Chain A
Amino acid sequence: MRTLMLVTLLTCTGTSAGYAQRNSESGAESKIVAMEHVWAQAYMIKDPKALARILDDAFVCVGSDGKLLTKPDILADVKTSTALQIMTESMVVHLHGDTAIVAGTFRTKGVERGKPYARRERFVDTWRYKDGQWVSLTSMVTLAGN
């Protein structure tokens, strides 16, 4: 009888722990997705302060042209953003403990040197849970293929 109770207790504890973990993962994913949206929003409204909070100081980005950009480069880039609309098409979060990989595609519409443009891009971002919050460490953006 004692054994049965112990097994039941352990099963419940295990289930509870599993539920808590799933809940925690789901919460982390939601936060990261929300920050990805803040990122896109920051470009549309030219808000470097919002972006500064979610990028690690050692953040690096590689763009479609292969150029390497640091956090200061990105914050300067936001101020001169030509994007008027950024629509996320897909976004998948893969959690690896305190690290998260986000992969997805988005469409950007804007005006550059008086000419409208529209492009579809694919991205992969690395996030890390650091000092109680998620910050982005890297981003790679390339023009989306087939």
Chain B
Amino acid sequence: MGLAYEHGNPRRQLRPRAGILPTGHFLRQEQGPMRTTNWLLILVCAGSLRVRAQEFGEGSSATAVLAQEHAWFDAQARSDNRVLDRIFDNALVYIEDGRLVTKGEYLSRVRLAGSHPGQITVETTTVHVFAGTAIVVGTYREIGVKDGKTFLRRWRFIDTWVNKQGSWILVAAGAAPLSK
């Protein structure tokens, strides 16, 4: 029962999924609320990600949730706020670097921010469905440029989706940097 955690789980062999980024972590700011750093150009990796979804017979739900994660990534890459507006619940709780970001703030920043190349590679993704609630846990690697220097960071994220009137809607998300 439970998620297939990557820690101590030699069976997990996940690879980056083509074109899928599970969260809106591109919005990470490094200095101050007005300075959006490194809009990330997504590295579309060759190959496919084998997602291990332990969902107790709710495979279609897990697939639908992953499709929404993909839609989030895709809409963000295109700065398509109309799609993001449909994916995010109005009461979205998003935690970014210890700060709480509302849906309005998130969309506003998507609208205002420019594009600064960077790369994100999803390393692991696991979906667990509890009836109308789905939890997505995973890690991703971020490569960016700050003050002329390239940096590499790894993050772990948790996203919470709720099925509302047949659609999976993001109600909470957050990421924490992985210690080296």
Contacts and interface: CB of A to CB of B under 8 A. Distances in A.
B99 A122 contact: yes
A65 B179 contact: yes
Interface in B113-137: 128, 130-133, 135, 137
Interface in B65-93: 89, 91, 93
Contacts of B14: none
A50 interface: no
B44 interface: no
Interface residues of A, number: 34
B133 A99 contact: yes
Interface residues of B, number: 37
Contacts of A56: 130
Nearest to A67: B179
Smallest CB-CB A-B distances: 6 pairs: A145-B98, A66-B178, A58-B2, A145-B99, A140-B174, A65-B179
15 contacts: A56-B130, A58-B128, A62-B174, A65-B176, A66-B179, A70-B2, A70-B5, A96-B91, A124-B93, A124-B95, A126-B172, A138-B158, A140-B174, A145-B98, A145-B99
Interface of A: 56-58, 60, 62-68, 70, 94, 96-99, 101, 103, 121-122, 124, 126, 128, 130, 137-138, 140-146
